[in-house]
Structure 1
Amino acid sequence: MTTTKEILTLTAEIGDAMLRNGAEIYRVEDSLVRILKAYNIENFDIYVLSNGIFASANEGLDDSCSIIRHTPLGDVNLRKISALNQLTRDICCKHCDVKTAWKRLDECLNSPSPDKRLLCFFCGLGCSCFTYLFGGTILDSIMAFVAGIFLEIFLLYCAHQKLSRFTKNVFASIVAMTLSLLPLLFGLKISYDKIVIGVIMPLVPGITFTTSIRDYYNGDYLSGTIHLIDALLTALCIAAGVGIVISIYQSINGGVPVL
């Protein structure tokens, strides 16, 4: 017979996986409530933050259980979120018992990552398109495409080395700015500012900022504040990296402005 602890542990693990892959707070909380109801747990409390889960069930009974999960902020993985959402739907439709749900959860967490070559190509393509969208020329877009590929290679290296988010963003913005200025050294007539805008777009915390606004709208003020602070600090790290490269470039050129 399945115990309350097993059900609550499964529920917390599903919520933890959703949070780690960038799911919204209200979606996680709603999913956990529905899972517990599907497994006939009636007396429970669920409280979800952007970096933690607090859950309890059957308080005051012999099989009472409480679980706390600390969940660090992570990058968004829509593939895993989609798989976890489907797992939640199957549980709610009574198509998945606890044992099967554990197997499905392991499959979701161990799903293969996208091909790194595709990530590099599409990062370069995205940078190129943004550069053109913000007024760059075809040559600017080509330079942004090349810079975007090298930027993604650097980001993959940072992920492999498990660098902190802020360290990664500072050094990634330094790399992006340096790559954007390199064509100037070869005398190419480019709009380096348009290239910079396009190349740093993969670093901009747009999803995090949007999530914070959505959390505020749903009344999750604490989670919204956490996401907002994370987005602002990320933007500050990007600005710091860009500023460092501009300062060095100006000093090398005798104080001549880059613009």
Structure 2
Amino acid sequence: MADKILKTCLLAGRIMIEGGSEMYRVDDTMARIAKNAGETAPQVFTTPTGLFIGVAGQPDVQIAPVSQRGIDMEKVAGVNNLSRQFAAGEIDLDALYAALEKLDRNTPFFPVWLQIIAAALCSTTLMVIFAQKYDFFDMPLAAVVGAIGFAVYLRMSSLTKVRFMSELLGAFAVGLAAWLGVRLGVGRSLNNVIVGAVMPLVPGVAITNSIRDMLAGHLLSGMARGMEAILSACAIGAGVAIIFRFF
């Protein structure tokens, strides 16, 4: 029974970390599942790359590696809902584990074309915010450039596990497409177009979560996620800087 409890907690925690959840939320969810299953003193330790859990009075400790991390709030919300149902007695431990496995395999997601359209809309609106004016001449170009950059980012993410490489190439595509658009007369302000179009690539959630983790006392996880966000920002900056350096 204890082995099944630990496996369920580890599965829930791994899904949440892969979905981009804060570490203190992962800790709390794993501990609540263990306590609601009858373990009064679970010992949980979480990092961005691995999870550890044990129970008081037993020597066994189980671990689970976390090989990939992204942003998928659907997974985080799904685990939270299942945890609440388990706490309310609506499902038992076996049903919870089966539901978590199903969530891990079949998480619904938006199609790629819809994500690209959303990136285009985000690029346009954020360009207006940062430029502090409605530049209707540059708005279509910002939308197209943002869509191109995000499409390149998604494509490279599927081809390589080096996250920073996909972000660098996505930012490079943003800079190159914006430069070509301005040179062809489709846009006027290269800076405004790039600032808006690059925003869908910016790791805003990772930066926010790193700060929240550190405020909650998870210094190791907070610093690790903060460094990951900084490296992502540097990769994006380097991709754009290449355009300004050579074009």
Q: Using structure 1 for the length normalisation, give the TM-score.
A: 0.89
Larger radius of gyration: 1
In structure 1, what is the equivalent of residue 107 of structure 2?
Answer: 111
Distance in 1, Cα, partners of 2:87 & 2:168:
43
One-letter code aligned to 2:191: D
Q: Which of 82, 85, 108 does residue 80 from structure 2 map onto?
A: 85
Distance in 2, Cα, partners of 1:24 & 1:44:
19
Deviations along 1:32-72, whole A, 9 cap, x unmatched?
Answer: 11100111012431111222211112434xxx531112214
Q: Which of 158, 161, 183 does residue 160 from structure 1 map onto?
A: 158
In structure 1, what is the equivalent of residue 118 of structure 2?
Answer: 122
Runs of 4+ in 1 over 4 A off after TM superposition: none
Q: Which of 18, 21, 38 does residue 20 from structure 1 map onto?
A: 18
Distance in 2, Cα, partners of 1:189 & 1:240:
23
Q: Which of 162, 167, 170 does residue 172 from structure 1 map onto?
A: 170
SS in 1 for 2:107: coil
Deviations along 1:225-249, whole A, 9 cap, x unmatched?
Answer: 0011111111111111111121110
In structure 1, what is the equivalent of residue 207 of structure 2?
Answer: 209
Q: Which has the higher contact order (CA 8 A, sep 6+)?
A: 2
Displacement of 1:24 in angstroms is 0.6
**8 Å contact kept, 2:23–2:47:** yes
Q: Which of 77, 97, 100 does residue 95 from structure 2 map onto?
A: 100
In structure 1, the gaps of 5 or more residues are 250-259
One-letter code aligned to 2:214: Y
Q: Which of 178, 189, 192 does residue 190 from structure 2 map onto?
A: 192
Q: Which of 6, 9, 15 does residue 7 from structure 2 map onto?
A: 9
In structure 2, what is the equivalent of residue 39 of structure 1?
Answer: 37
Deviations along 1:88-130, whole A, 9 cap, x unmatched?
Answer: 1111112111221122112322122212121111110000111
Q: CA RMSD in A?
A: 1.5
Displacement of 1:159 in angstroms is 2.6
Deviations along 1:133-164, whole A, 9 cap, x unmatched?
Answer: 12261121110111122222212212321331
In structure 2, what is the equivalent of residue 255 of structure 1?
Answer: none
